[in-house]
């Protein structure tokens, strides 16, 4: 087993990376479909059906990345899993109830009698909102080191709002790509409104993070590390500028470039996430437990890794397949 | 305070798992039933098989969504309420759960989209393949989770180092002694649940006048499947019981309501176990039958509950009443299933008129038993899970050792929230199944998932 040096060093690193990738894929993929749910009240009934149709074939698989991320935390860093989830007991419960309401609303709103449809539409919106807000809240608490103080909760409420707006932004860019005509024009307006939430959110976390931890502060503002980090804020600023100028001119003739806002939003998430991962490494519970301290036994991690090497590319493969099958503008979802 | 947290956490977990298990119990078998319908359609080209497919795929999608969302809740609760579990046996539970997520969850989730909405977008064989992969993924999911659950009942293939379990033999962990019995028992339970659900809902549609060819084939397939599978299930259940007696004798003693170790033990049909006095009241039993069933010897020795009390008076067996009663509910429901499915099959076969020959009272009985599979599964689940107490992992860790130190009021708050949501969803689920049944019986199209409202005529949407 000792082919690549000490497995107690590289295995935790590999699993932290895998977990990071799962979380990143999750916040992009479920991010856009949660965002579509958050935007629900701004749409009329026909538009609501269109919006659901645009995410119907995908949302379930998108959500599975959350299960994988938490599963990897659970299997690779069991003590951190317990510490993080017990500290976040209430927001986790709110998120779970949100996910439940939202997940079943997809099915019920289409199958229940017409008068009940409104109820399930509301459940879909409420579930999406609860999920987004509680995830943002958890993100804020995590950045603040999972301590329940008044100031931290205040910060977490802020990140809850920003993440929700951020999700609705990427959701809006998804709708721009998957729809046309009036709904598309509406989505352009939503995206223009949402981009500011994203900018403020990334800004708030970027400002707060180094001041919570002197370790992170040193990591950011010392030479030459600051140089390695500098592409992130610069590229992010360029991306925001590009997205803004594009959204102002949308839609283009013959629906050209309709996929680009979504691509830009995705790139922005990647930047933000890269910055966070860079700051918090090697901790899995900020300033308390490192990935090396929390890691499971190497023999167990090795068993999972073998499977992961085979299974993960397969999953990626058929996920792409499903996006290819359901490519193009959203149409009415039919079982036949 | 600590004790309240334990009790409330146990109730919360029991509520979650009871709600969750209802839906995999349907999807595990319904996936294969859909594949059966699809393959029949592919072979015969008869529209009635596709009609059956189209109706039941909706119930599948609904059940699947309910199962997914309640399953996510379960996976989080390991961390929020039972962190001790992963800290102690995470090296074993972890890889099993990871394999469930990687080999099953994604497979189901991705191909479900193609199965539901891809019929007109992909070639027919791809749609059939997607149906197969969803059924296969659901089965894989059940396999991994039952491997873990069985290992908790009959752990082996590990060593304890500094109070943490380390795997030494993965094949011993996966193929632990109770796994084959538990897995077979659960899969059969799923097929029986689905058989009675299809038979019941089809009988309902039949009674209110929706006598289409699709209803006819679905009802007949379901009744015959139930009749064939129930005796197999009784046999497998018996083997499972013998296996439990070998590895968890305290559980069997509680199931039987048997306090004293002795020979020639009677099979108790009815009794009220009294935990205080440590004896049964109002006991009615058949002499020597329990000894015969459990040891295949009329005078065989069977261990009693009093063997599981330590010298300082600590009780190391589960609470007797819930195990005793849930076992009787499971067996009773199973016998009723045998009676109903056999008499219905006999009627169909004898008169050679198929389902036309079923008299009204029998159709009503089938409707009444639509959810009998749920009742039996839950009862069986309680028997085996409560029967494991006070152990969480038999002989390795107790439930009490795993619980999180979360304030009791917080657990109570979330418990109430979950119960409200679950009660609402369960009502909606059953309502929608029968609503869809009524709607199709009126001949209305339910092929559309997103029904366009009357205002949205195609002309109004130039984008289309």
Other C-beta atoms within 10 Å of B445: how many? Answer: 10
Q: Give the residue on A whose Cα is nearest the Cα of B413.
A: A90
Who contacts B286 (Cβ-Cβ below 8 Å, separation ≥6)? B266, B267, B269
Helix, strand, coil abundance in chain A, percent, nearest 5: 85, 0, 15
Averaged pLDDT for residues B220-229: 91
Element (H, E) at B282: strand B279-286
Nearest to A31 by CA among A138, A189, A236, A170: A170
Q: Give the residue on B whose Cα is nearest the Cα of A54.
A: B450
Is the confidence at residue B28, as pLDDT, over 90? yes
Other C-beta atoms within 10 Å of A9: how many? Answer: 13
Is the confidence at residue B3, as pLDDT, over 70? no
Beta pairing partners, B397: B393
Asked if the C-beta of B94 comes within 8 angstroms of chain A's C-beta atoms, the answer is yes
Per-residue pLDDT, B295: 79
**Interchain CB contacts (distance < 8 Å): A and B:** 261
**Chain A partners within 8 Å of B428 (Cβ):** 104, 108, 112
pLDDT, tens only, A209-250 = 887 777 888 878 887 878 877 888 888 889 988 888 888 887
**Chain A partners within 8 Å of B65 (Cβ):** 60, 103-104, 106-107
Is the confidence at residue B255, as pLDDT, over 90? no
Averaged pLDDT for residues B59-78: 85
Question: Tokens at residue A211, please?
Answer: 């001041």
Contact A326 B73 (CB under 8 A): no
The full DSSP string for B100-130 is HIIIIIHHHHHHHHHHHH-TTTS-HHHHHHH
Nearest to B254 by CA among B300, B189, B316: B316
CA distance A63 to A52: 15
B165 φ/ψ angles, rounded to the nearest 5 degrees: -75, 135
Cα dihedral sign, A276-B75-B140-A101: negative
Spell out where chain A has E strands.
Answer: 283-285, 289-290
In angstroms, how far is CA A134 from the centroid of its own chain? 12
Averaged pLDDT for residues A56-64: 81
Question: Tokens at residue A163, please?
Answer: 């993440």
Contact A181 B110 (CB under 8 A): no
CA distance A305 to A289: 22
- Measured in angstroms, the CA of B313 and the nearest CA of chain A are apart by 33
Mean pLDDT of chain A: 84
**Chain B partners within 8 Å of A107 (Cβ):** 61-62, 65
Asked if the C-beta of A92 comes within 8 angstroms of chain B's C-beta atoms, the answer is yes
- Measured in angstroms, the CA of B379 and the nearest CA of chain A are apart by 25
Between residues B253 and B222, the one the model is more confident about? B222
Cβ atoms of B139 and B117 closer than 8 Å: no
Beta pairing partners, B391: B398
Per-residue pLDDT, B457: 32
What residue segments make up the domains of chain A, in order of their start?
A: 7-325
Q: Sorting pLDDT into bands at 50, 70 and 90, what band is B459?
A: very low
CA distance B278 to B274: 6
Q: Hey, what's the torsion of the CAs at A328, A333, A335, A336, to 10 degrees?
A: -60
Q: Which of A53, A58, A62, A75 to mutate to test the interface with B (most CBs of B within 10 A)?
A: A75
Contact B91 A321 (CB under 8 A): no
CA distance B52 to A136: 44
Contact B120 A46 (CB under 8 A): no
Three-class SS state of B185: helix
CA distance B20 to B24: 7
Mean pLDDT of chain B: 83
Per-residue pLDDT, B454: 32
Structure pTM?
0.84
- Which residue of A85, A182, A325 is in closest CB contact with B121? A325
Per-residue pLDDT, B445: 54
Averaged pLDDT for residues B153-178: 87
- Measured in angstroms, the CA of B116 and the nearest CA of chain A are apart by 5
Asked if the C-beta of A97 comes within 8 angstroms of chain B's C-beta atoms, the answer is yes
Contact B97 A299 (CB under 8 A): no
- Which residue of A108, A303, A333 is in closest CB contact with B170? A303
- Measured in angstroms, the CA of A309 and the nearest CA of chain B are apart by 11
Averaged pLDDT for residues B403-415: 83
Placement of tokens 């002989």 in the chain: B395
Contact map slice: A 289-328 vs B, CB within 8 A: 296-297, 299-300, 303-304, 307-308, 311-312, 315, 318-319, 321-322, 325-326
Q: Which of B66, B98, B111 to mutate to test the interface with A (most CBs of A within 10 A)?
A: B98
In angstroms, how far is CA B347 from the centroid of its own chain? 29
CA distance A98 to A89: 14
Asked if the C-beta of A251 comes within 8 angstroms of chain B's C-beta atoms, the answer is no
Contact A60 B109 (CB under 8 A): yes
pLDDT, tens only, B282-321 = 878 887 888 887 877 788 888 888 888 777 777 778 888 8
Averaged pLDDT for residues A171-195: 85
Per-residue pLDDT, A335: 60
Other C-beta atoms within 10 Å of A221: how many? Answer: 11
Contact A300 B435 (CB under 8 A): no
Cβ atoms of B132 and B113 closer than 8 Å: no
Cβ atoms of B94 and B86 closer than 8 Å: yes
CA distance B400 to A6: 36
Nearest to B89 by CA among B351, B311, B399, B312: B399
Bridge pairing between strands B262-263 and B267-274 = unpaired
Cβ atoms of A246 and A42 closer than 8 Å: no
Asked if the C-beta of B286 comes within 8 angstroms of chain A's C-beta atoms, the answer is no
Q: Give the residue on B whose Cα is nearest the Cα of A79.
A: B87
Q: What is the ipTM of this complex?
A: 0.78
Cβ atoms of A265 and A177 closer than 8 Å: no
Other C-beta atoms within 10 Å of A248: how many? Answer: 9
Q: How far is CA A103 from CA A260, B64, B94, in A?
A: 28, 10, 26
Contact map slice: B 145-204 vs A, CB within 8 A: 164, 166-167, 170
CA distance B400 to B402: 6
In angstroms, how far is CA A176 from the centroid of its own chain? 19
Cβ atoms of B199 and B223 closer than 8 Å: yes
A33 φψ region: left (φ > 0), alpha (ψ -120 to 50), beta (else): alpha
pLDDT, tens only, B114-148 = 888 777 778 888 889 989 999 999 999 999 999 99
Averaged pLDDT for residues A44-56: 84
Per-residue pLDDT, B1: 45
Averaged pLDDT for residues A46-52: 85
Least confident of A3-12, A315-324, A327-336, B234-243: A327-336
The length of chain B is 464
């Amino acid at each position: 087993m000792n082919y690549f040096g000490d497995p107690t060093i590289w295995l935790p690193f590999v699993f932290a990376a895998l977990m990071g990738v799962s979380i990143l894929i999750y916040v992009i993929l479920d991010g856009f479909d949660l965002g579509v749910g958050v935007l629900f009240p701004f749409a009329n009934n026909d538009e609501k059906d269109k919006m659901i149709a645009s995410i119907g074939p995908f949302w379930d698989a998108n959500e599975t990345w959350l299960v994988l991320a938490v599963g990897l935390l659970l299997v690779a860093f069991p003590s951190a899993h317990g510490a993080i989830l017990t500290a976040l007991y209430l927001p986790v419960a709110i998120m779970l109830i949100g996910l439940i309401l939202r997940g079943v609303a997809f099915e019920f709103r289409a199958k229940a009698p017409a008068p009940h449809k409104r109820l399930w539409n509301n459940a879909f919106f409420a579930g999406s909102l609860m999920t987004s807000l509680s995830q943002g809240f958890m993100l804020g608490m995590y950045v603040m080191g999972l301590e329940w103080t008044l100031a931290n909760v205040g910060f977490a409420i802020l990140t809850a709002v920003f993440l929700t707006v951020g999700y609705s932004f990427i959701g809006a860019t998804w709708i721009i790509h998957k729809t046309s005509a009036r709904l598309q024009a509406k989505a352009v307006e939503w995206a223009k409104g949402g981009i500011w939430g994203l900018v403020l959110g990334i800004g708030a976390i970027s400002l707060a993070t180094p001041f919570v931890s002197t370790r992170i502060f040193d990591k950011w503002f010392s030479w030459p590390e600051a140089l390695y980090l500098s592409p992130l804020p610069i590229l992010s600023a360029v991306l925001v500028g590009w997205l803004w100028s594009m959204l102002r001119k949308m839609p283009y003739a013959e629906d050209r470039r309709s996929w680009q806002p979504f691509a830009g939003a995705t790139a922005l998430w990647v930047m933000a996430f890269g910055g966070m991962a860079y700051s918090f490494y090697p901790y899995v519970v900020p300033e308390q437990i490192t990935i090396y301290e929390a890691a499971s036994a190497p023999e167990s991690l090795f068993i999972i890794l073998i499977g992961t090497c085979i299974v993960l590319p397969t999953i990626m493969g058929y996920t792409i397949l499903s996006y290819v099958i359901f490519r193009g503008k959203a149409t009415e979802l039919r079982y036949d | 305070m600590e004790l309240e947290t334990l009790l409330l956490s146990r109730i919360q977990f029991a509520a979650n798992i009871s709600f969750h298990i209802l839906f995999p119990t349907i999807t595990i078998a319904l996936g294969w039933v859909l594949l059966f319908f699809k393959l029949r359609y592919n072979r015969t080209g008869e529209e009635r098989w596709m009609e059956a497919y189209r109706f039941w795929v909706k119930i599948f999608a609904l059940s699947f969504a309910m199962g997914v969302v309640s399953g996510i809740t379960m996976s989080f609760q390991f961390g929020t309420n039972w962190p001790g579990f992963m800290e102690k046996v995470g090296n074993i539970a972890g890889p099993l759960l990871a394999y469930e997520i990687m080999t099953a969850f994604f497979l189901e989730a991705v191909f479900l989209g193609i199965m539901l909405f891809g019929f007109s977008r992909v070639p027919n064989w791809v749609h059939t393949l997607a149906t197969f992969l969803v059924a296969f993924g659901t089965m894989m999911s059940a396999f991994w989770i039952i491997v873990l659950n069985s290992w908790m009942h009959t752990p082996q293939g590990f060593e304890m180092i500094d109070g943490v379990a380390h795997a030494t033999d993965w094949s011993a962990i996966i193929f632990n002694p109770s796994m084959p019995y538990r897995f077979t028992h659960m899969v059969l339970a799923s097929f029986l649940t689905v058989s009675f659900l299809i038979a019941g809902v089809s009988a309902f549609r039949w009674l209110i006048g929706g006598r289409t060819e699709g209803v006819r084939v679905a009802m007949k397939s379901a009744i015959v499947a139930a009749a064939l599978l129930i005796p197999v299930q009784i046999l497998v259940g018996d083997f499972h019981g013998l296996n439990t007696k070998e590895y968890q004798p305290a559980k069997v003693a509680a199931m039987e309501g048997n306090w004293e170790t002795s020979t020639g033990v009677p099979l108790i049909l009815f009794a009220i176990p009294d935990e205080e006095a440590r004896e049964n009241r109002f006991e009615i039993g058949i002499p020597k039958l329990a000894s015969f069933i459990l040891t295949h010897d009329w005078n065989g020795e069977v261990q009693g509950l009093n063997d599981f009390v330590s010298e300082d008076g600590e009780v190391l067996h589960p609470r007797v009443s819930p195990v005793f009663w849930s076992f009787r509910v499971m067996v009773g429901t199973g016998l009723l299933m045998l009676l109903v499915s056999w008499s219905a099959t006999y009627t169909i076969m004898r008169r050679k008129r198929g389902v036309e020959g079923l008299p009204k009272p029998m159709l009503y009985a089938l409707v009444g038993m639509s959810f009998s599979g749920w009742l039996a599964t839950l009862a069986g689940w309680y028997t085996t899970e409560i029967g494991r107490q006070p152990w969480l992992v038999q002989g390795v860790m107790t439930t009490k050792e795993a619980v999180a130190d979360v304030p009791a009021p917080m657990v109570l708050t979330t418990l109430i929230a979950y119960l409200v949501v679950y009660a609402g969803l369960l009502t909606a689920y059953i309502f929608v199944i029968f609503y869809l049944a009524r709607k199709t019986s009126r001949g209305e199209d339910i092929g559309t998932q997103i029904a366009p409202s009357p205002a949205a005529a195609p002309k109004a949407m130039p984008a289309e």
